[in-house]
Amino acid sequence: MEIIPAIDLRGGRCVRLLQGDYNRETVFSDDPPAMAKHWESLGACRLHVIDLDGAREGAPRNLEVVRSICGAVSIPVQLGGGMRDVEMARTALDAGVDRIIVGTAALDPEAARNFIDEIGQKIVAGIDARDGLVAVDGWLDTTEIGALNLARKLVGIGYQTVVFTDIATDGMLKGPNIPALKEMVEAVPASVIASGGISTIDDLRAVRSAGATGAIVGRAIYTGDLNLQKAIEALC
């Protein structure tokens, strides 16, 4: 299982939000590329970067910072936040990103299929759920669309990887929603990467036991609650 450090960007800085609330922000670094190099030095084999400004505004807003991150490390970087069309995705790929996470745009069947047709498996489905329902636009709005139903549809048209985030647990350091994760893993014949609430090595073991192929870790590695290097040595 991959353990993937998260770098959330807002205003060019590395931040973390509580449950996706833009009013509950903690700044952890003014130098995201240096942070990326730090996580790489501890053994990370991939980075998960989210453009929070882009997620809320509907278009990438921190692309130059993302370009600098990609240039600073030798490991692949996956990017989400504001990726609403193929042109935006291609611009990010040209900046050095390895794969693109599509969230809000994936709710439109035509757009979802177009991403796969044009870019292929460098496109990943990002499904963020609150109480089992899909949240969009930087988690500001919750739809009436079931997360499992959306995952099935996206996998049915060719998506092979799903990043599944449980918003209620995100940033809370209280453990992941394992029942919801198991439901997602069992619902789709795809690689499922878990995100939200992971704060201990035991949490990571539970995520692996649930069938996830990857785990995104955020606040816990910034606060020191989880030692990234020890976690990678124990599980990877």
Dist. CA 79–CA 195, nearest whole Å: 14
For residue 169, pLDDT beyond 90? no
Parallel/antiparallel/unpaired status of strands 2-10 and 13-18 = antiparallel
Please compute the mean of the pLDDT values over residues 110-138 and round it to a whole number: 93
Every domain of the chain and the residues it spans: 2-235
For residue 21, pLDDT beyond 80? no
Please compute the mean of the pLDDT values over residues 55-70 and round it to a whole number: 95
Q: Which fold has domain 2-235?
A: TIM Barrel (3.20.20)
pLDDT, the chain, mean: 94
What confidence score (pLDDT) does residue 172 get? 62
pLDDT tier, 146 (very low <50, low <70, confident <90, very high otherwise): very high
* pLDDT tens per residue, range 70-121: 999 999 999 999 999 999 999 999 999 999 999 989 999 999 999 999 999 9
pLDDT tier, 168 (very low <50, low <70, confident <90, very high otherwise): confident
Q: Which of 8, 51, 166, 170 is catalytic?
A: 8
Dist. CA 190–CA 10, nearest whole Å: 30
State yes or no: is 128 an active-site residue. Answer: yes
What confidence score (pLDDT) does residue 170 get? 62
pLDDT tier, 43 (very low <50, low <70, confident <90, very high otherwise): very high
Question: Which residue is it, tokens 């489905």?
Answer: 125
- Cβ neighbours of residue 22 under 8 Å, at least 6 residues apart? 10, 52, 56, 138, 140
User: Rounded to 5 degrees, what are φ and ψ at 157?
Assistant: -100, 5
State yes or no: is 8 an active-site residue. Answer: yes
Q: Which of 128, 166, 170, 203 is catalytic?
A: 128
